[in-house]
Structures are given as structure tokens and as C-alpha cells.
Structure 1
């Protein structure tokens, strides 16, 4: 409920000029603005992001835009779930103030010729499997940061490489925004919440549970060092590969939290165990922070 006792209803805007007018009013009032960029199909993980934005900001903006620049040919752009009415109800329940849901032509009146280059970090792991994906992601995030001009932007840690790249972009390009991260939200079976989970059949979801099992097994073995982590994680994924349908592993790797480069043998301290695999036609990613002990 709002302060007046009426049901909370965020302002829905689909045009940049209207968004700019609202933002100018907030600036005049001195309100601290928190942004949650999304592609819609909101779930409890997004709710956690909005709650964090609500806690940190005096005005909360949720953007809903399925960004074509970060989808490769043959990927799921056309079938990516679009549920604006349900998303608006979620935003209302979490007391977002404004939902910016522009059309493709509003964000890209013409195909952009100048885009963001993700650099070396954008060419490994997810960037190697999906070349150009991170360039497209960073381009739209930078556009949204310019359009909303938030004080704070909130992102989930599930997309860890994406988060690291956004932090790097904001630092390298002197974007005046604080990047706030929120831990991965998991379902009761351990699977990280993702809009793409809706693609999974019951059997595929059962197989997909091998991903979080591998991560947690690796974290439990972290005191024994890098090789112990990878051995424990691979054992869980071997079980997934034998399931029906099988888990088709892309990578399981330990990386630096800042650079997403592979951890060399003998290194100790903070690291991220990252995994990507296909189950059926659905590609899933997940990661878990841990602290490596000596080998």
C-alpha cells in the first residue's frame, strides 16, 4: 500500500523523454535514485535486487528491456519470456517507483555503430562461448545508466562475469554510479534462479541440479586448494553427465573475482568457482565464491 492507503502502483514509462522529465524532478528534489536493470520475466532473484534498491535508494527504477545486442544468431531472443503485466505486479509488490519498459526502436532508433568493447575479460568463458555477448550487454547497460542517471545500480552475483565487467566499465569510463551486488538467490533444490529455468522440463531440471551440487562440493573442498576444488566439482558433474537427459559441460573453472582469469596452481585466498553447461536446449550458468586454502 502507498502512504495514502491505495495499492502501490509504479509509474510505467516507455519513452526516453518522459523518463528524463521524471528524473529531472527527482534531481530537483534531491532524491537518491537506485536502478535495477532487467530483461523482465522477474522472479524472486529480481525481487531481492529491488528490495536492495528500495533499502538504498529514495526512488527505485526497474528497467525491462530484452536487449537484442547481447543475443547471438540462433539464440533465444524471440522466445525469451516476456511477461510485462506479471512483471508490473512484481514491481508493485516490491514498491518500485518507476518501470521503464521501452521498445527496441526507442533504445536503438538505428543499428548502433558505436558500442562498448568488453576487452580481454569479455573474451573468456562466457565471452568465448558467446562472442560479442558482453559487448552488447555493456552497451545497453551504459545507455541505461546514462538515461536514468542513478546514484546506485543493483546487479545479481549469479551473472558474475557480467557483474565484474560492469564494475570494470564503470571504473574505466568514470561513470558516476555505485555498483551494488546482491548474492545469488536459489530455489529449494539449489538451482540458481534464472528466467531461463522456465525452459527446463521436470527431467531436465532434475539433471541441472548437478550444477549447484558441483559448486557446493567444490566450496566444501576449498581448504585443500585449487585441485581439490576442481576434483570435487567434476565428480558431481560426472554424475550429471550420466543423468537422463545428460548435463553437457562447457566449463568448470576457478577464477579471480576481479579479472575472471583462471587461478593458477598454488594460489590461495578468494576465488570464484564458475560453471556453465547445457541441459537439453537450455544453457545454464552459475558460480559460487570461496576461499582457497593451501594445496
Structure 2
């Protein structure tokens, strides 16, 4: 199986030497999966950070295989999140192997994504329905990360880059660190969140029904879980108008605070820009534009 060059580049950029070793062992890993679960791995979907492909079980059922570079908490968090969501608004988990970084999941047909819906209002209305099904009160006992842990990340970035980094100025870092801490200290209710909910992680399932896939698993405020959606599938022009429409729909349909969504989004877009710089050497122009839009919105 030939892996796309862009996927190979991403794995090496994000996981460094550990990713290179994983890529060298990849053919053997596929063979192990086929033998362990009596499946045949088919051509993969469009790949980003993980290998995801449809598979055919020996009994004729179609499933999805997901391979993650092991060695961090990402797979553990996803497995726990899928267990807690229990198929409510999300694709079900069938089996997994934490040591090898393997997951076998329910196959959602026909496999197109929310990104195929080009009308902004229609797509946003669809994802609000998914959010209503998905979000649950935070469990009492969980090892999932919380948004409070990300407060330290702002502090670490500012200490490492006291004059800012790339398009992120030192003033922005200070604003975000203070604002994030304030938002965290004023949360009324904690919820179990998806943590990476956007156009490419929502698929149609049956007539007029959509479900989420690939949760990161996060404990936090509902207003925070709209942040990734705000960064995706934005037009070349009228970006602020598109964002504003999304904010208003979320506020109306989900009874969320528009003010808190804007503030969380400003903080998160700074983190997103920094993660891009850390992994790929630069932030995307669209992320920079969105970051400055939310900075302006929060100060209005």
C-alpha cells in the first residue's frame, strides 16, 4: 500500500523519529491488523494525521480501521471518549489495541463529510443537531484532559517566546493567557466535549441524520467546543460575516453565550496558530485572519 507523500510528511513533521520508525513498520502493522481481526484493509480515505481506511470483515461487514502513532495520550483519550459517548451522536467503537495504536470502528455510509455542504447556514444547523446529541455532563471519574490544563500552555509559550512568535505578538499572548484563565474560572457547568468538532469530523448516517467521528475527548465548557468549527471551511471573502452567522446560529440553537464563544475562539486560534508553527514551521494565512477577527470581536 502506497501512502500519500503529504501524509508521510505530516507523520514525520509531527512525530519526528518516532513517526519514521512507525512508517517503516507500517506494512507489518497492516498485516497484523488483518490477521488479528479477520479483515481486509481497503484503500484509505483522505489522510491527515492518522491512517484511516475502510475494511471488509470475513463475515461481509464493512468497518473502519484507524492507526495512530503510539506513544502519547491521544489514543487513550479517544478510546475513553468513545466509551463515554457510547455511540450517541458518534460512530461506535468495536475494538482497540492501545499498545499498537489500533482502533476498529463502525463504518458510516456513504462516507461523505459535512464539508460537502457548501451552504454555511445549512452546515451549521446540521452540526448543532450533532452537538445536542453528543454533549453530556462531565463524568465524575475521568482521565480525559481538561481545558484548565491548556492555561499552562499559554504561560509556557509566553516564557519561551517573550517577544511573540510569527504572527502571534507578545501582547496577544498576554491577552490570551489572562482571558483563558478568567474564562476557566467562570465556567458554570463542565461537559464532556468532542474536542475537535469540525466539518471533516461529521458524516451522514442514514436519512437526515449525521454523526461525529474522531473525538479527542475534552472536559470543558460547551462554548469551547465550537472553536475548531470556526476555523474550517471559510470562504475566500466575507470571512467575518460567515463567522458571525455561525456564532448567531450556535447562540440561538444551543443557547450558548456569544460573548464566551468569541473569547474562547480568540484564545483557541492563538493556540492553533502556535501548533501549526510548532509542527510545520508556519501558521496558515486563514488561521491568522481568523485570529485577528476574533481579537477585534472580543474588543467590540
TM range (shorter): under 0.3
The structure richer in strand per residue is 1
Q: What TM-score, normalized by structure 2, do the two folds share?
A: 0.27
| TM-score under structure 1 length normalisation | 0.28
Structure with the higher fraction of residues in helix conformation: 2
